[in-house]
A and B are shown apart, each in its own frame.
Chain A
């Protein structure tokens, strides 16, 4: 985990917490671990943002939303996209994982468990509706780049699983 390398200015923290992921609105971009740095100097703010997936179509929107939120608070904001270190699902905070579950998306397992689950070797992914682990993979690719599609064999509901990226 490279969580330690994150620096977010305490004054900017509450502003950034208000910016949601446009595709998963219950989740703040801070909970997703996408903001790697937010520094304040006088009235100038420099934000470093990392994408979850290279092709994530929400990236431009997120960048614009951050800029707007910070400028609305009276600062000048510059958002820079950084690729390294590459984003990992480990960076999702415990609050973020809870928010995902509540929203109906199963939170990512750790890497080795994820592999076994996606290969269908073991039933490890918990249904966010009924909490059963009697689930199976329908497709490795779900409604967005970051998710896989699962189905619960107990309550029969299909659900998204936030796939692991480590």
Chain B
């Protein structure tokens, strides 16, 4: 399937915007879902998969809305499973591999704090559906944020091994954080039209929120000049193809299959 603006020109901009925000939750949910049955302890396994479930639930609401705006020229499942790599607009951060538990937590932590601030603003969207999804989701995301922040504290302020691992994960993922606050075309348009969030304004508050936790966790805040970006424009890292081949396997193998 290929999503082209001319298929539904009238709502094209809004659909692009919905995909930009929903794809973050979809791809992060897929990464978290990889821990199903592989979490370090049973409780953590359940927590991670619960977070994945929340994220997928939010994605469903977004995709159902997008499919409705596309006047049934696609379904929520098409949007989730049948796009090509370049058509996914998630930030690079969320597609990074799990590597080890410290990376799982660091990735979640760096996204959760952004996600919370973003949804907080999206609640005020002039679009009633987006506002309703945000009001619903923010309640769930406040739990995610608490979970990942707790673990950053535990790992950072834990043993020398856990500290070294979480520090390395934060260092490695840090270059992907800047992209969160750089709007793509759809996001710029959405702000102009009043239903979108001006994400560039969230950065200062984000910085304060994560630095507070990192300091308490005795983690050194990386001092970087170089940032990596591209996901929001559809230019993904080398990990994305592998993730998609896994995520899309069933729909590609048995086209149109349903539960």
Contact = CB atoms under 8 A, between A and B. Distances in A.
Contacts of B38: none
B121 to A, nearest CB: 16
B89 to A, nearest CB: 20
A141 interface: yes
B20 interface: no
B147 to A, nearest CB: 5
A149 B128 contact: no
Contacts of A144: 50
A14 interface: no
A83 B136 contact: yes
Contact of A53 (B47, B140, B146, B147): B140
Interface string A131-154: 000000011111111000100000
A56 B53 CA distance: 8
Given A54-B61, A86-B132, A165-B139, A143 B54 contact: no
Contact of A140 (B58, B133, B136, B143): B143
Given A83-B61, A143-B46, A55 B53 contact: yes
B43 A149 contact: yes
A92 to B, nearest CB: 15
Nearest to B137: A54
A57 interface: yes
A34 interface: no
B131 interface: yes
Looking at chain B's contact residues, the main secondary structure is helix
Interface size for chain A: under 10, 10 to 19, 20 to 34, or 35 or more residues? 20 to 34
B128 A55 contact: no
Interface in A50-94: 51, 53-57, 83-87
Looking at chain A's contact residues, the main secondary structure is loop
Given A140-B143, A143-B46, A57 B53 contact: yes
Interface in B51-83: 51, 53-58, 60-61
A118 interface: yes
Contacts of B209: none
Interface in B106-129: 128-129
A53 B54 contact: yes
A143 B50 CA distance: 9
Interface of A: 51, 53-57, 83-87, 118-119, 138-145, 149, 163, 165-166
Interface of B: 43-44, 46-47, 50-51, 53-58, 60-61, 128-129, 131-133, 135-137, 139-140, 143, 146-147, 150
6 contacts: A57-B53, A83-B136, A86-B136, A86-B139, A139-B43, A144-B50
